[in-house]
Chains A and B, each alone.
Chain A
Amino acid sequence: DQQVKQNSPSLSVQEGRISILNCDYTNSMFDYFLWYKKYPAEGPTFLISISSIKDKNEDGRFTVFLNKSAKHLSLHIVPSQPGDSAVYFCAASFSGSARQLTFGSGTQLTVLP
């Protein structure tokens, strides 16, 4: 049973436009959400996070929105750049002893020049 889902395996966007990556979760205990970016043959790189007490967090070109009632979060990248092309993973955790991350299956973003 996938607790974190990224239903779009791939997304193509024109350079300069907005990229919107979506993520849904089922476990209402999750209270901290993160987005990671991954290039081939590398480990995931942390991008941005959001706590469940907020509904928006912004860092430069990246903004994460959280809709707790819908159990949905999204990552907006504006403006998109060719260097943003990578696999993006949504991850979630909840308060407890381990804070282990539960990941979605990822979305391959391709930004076209």
Chain B
Amino acid sequence: DTGVSQDPRHKITKRGQNVTFRCDPISEHNRLYWYRQTLGQGPEFLTYFQNEAQLEKSRLLSDRFSAERPKGSFSTLEIQRTEQGDSAMYLCASSRRPGLATEETQYFGPGTRLLVL
């Protein structure tokens, strides 16, 4: 049983550069989430996909951020013109849309730690 995987695990970049992260969800999961976590805080929601459709975006997701999930499988999160304030752990989670039940558990990947110099 493979869990959620993320690549790369670490990324160091210079301010102004573009970076792209990849997330591979659990194979039968149709929902995929991106979160960001900064030091001393809990993860904060960024965006959500159901299959290939991006259905919700947080106000935290500025115009420099774009996420895709082509074919409803893996997802990418791109940050353009990175700023030092973008330094954080970027977490991906996936879940299966519940049927009649309302309960839904998200399973997280190991995260990508981004450092913008």
A49→B43 contact, CB < 8 A = no
B33→A43 contact, CB < 8 A = no
Name A6's closest neighbour in chain B (CB-CB).
B42
Chain B's nearest CB lies how many Å from the CB of A42? Answer: 5
User: Which one of B48, B91, B103, B104 lies within 8 Å of A44 (CB-CB)?
Assistant: B91
Name A36's closest neighbour in chain B (CB-CB).
B108
**CA distance in complex: A6, B77 (Å):** 29
B41 within 8 A of A: yes
Name B10's closest neighbour in chain A (CB-CB).
A41
User: Which one of A43, A46, A98 lies within 8 Å of B91 (CB-CB)?
Assistant: A43
A44→B43 contact, CB < 8 A = yes
A100→B48 contact, CB < 8 A = yes
Residues of chain A with a CB closer than 8 A to B45's CB = 98, 100-102
Instruction: Tell me the number of A-to-B contacts counted with CB atoms below 8 Å.
Output: 71
User: Which one of A42, A43, A51 lies within 8 Å of B103 (CB-CB)?
Assistant: A51
Residues of chain B with a CB closer than 8 A to A74's CB = none
Residues of chain A with a CB closer than 8 A to B6's CB = 43
B55→A97 contact, CB < 8 A = yes
A89 within 8 A of B: yes
Chain B's nearest CB lies how many Å from the CB of A96? Answer: 9
Chain A's nearest CB lies how many Å from the CB of B46? Answer: 9
- Interface flags for B103-117 (1: CB within 8 Å of A; 0: not) read 111111111010000
A97→B56 contact, CB < 8 A = yes
A49→B103 contact, CB < 8 A = yes
**CA distance in complex: A67, B11 (Å):** 42
**CA distance in complex: A85, B40 (Å):** 16
**CA distance in complex: A32, B95 (Å):** 14
B40→A105 contact, CB < 8 A = yes
A contact residues vs B (CB 8 Å cutoff): 4, 31-32, 34, 36, 41-46, 49, 51, 89, 91, 93, 95, 97-106
**Given A42-B110, A44-B91, 5 other A-B residues pairs in contact with their CB atoms under 8 A:** A4-B42, A32-B102, A46-B108, A101-B45, A101-B93
